[in-house]
Amino acid sequence: MPIRLRKFIGAVALLVLVIVWALVAMALAQAPAIHDSTALSIAYYVIAGLGWVLPAMPIVSWMSGPVRGQ
């Protein structure tokens, strides 16, 4: 697969990941346990804010990986 196509697919995948992650995080943030506790709310937002990086790392490494078959 050409590197330009791989980077385009990866960019679209990252965009979809971030949008879905944000929507799910916003929905979960409305849970009464998180919404009512200040300490739990802060911890949740820190984890939710940084948590998307872990699923994004394989996408980024795939995007910058070696070109096979050329």
Q: Which residue has the higher pLDDT, 66 or 43?
A: 43
Crossing angle of the two packed helices 53-63 and 38-51, in degrees rounded to 10: 10
Asked if residue 67 has pLDDT above 80, the reply is no
7-56, pLDDT tens digit by residue? Answer: 999 999 999 999 999 999 999 989 898 888 899 999 999 999 999 999 99
The pLDDT score that the predictor gives to residue 26 is: 92
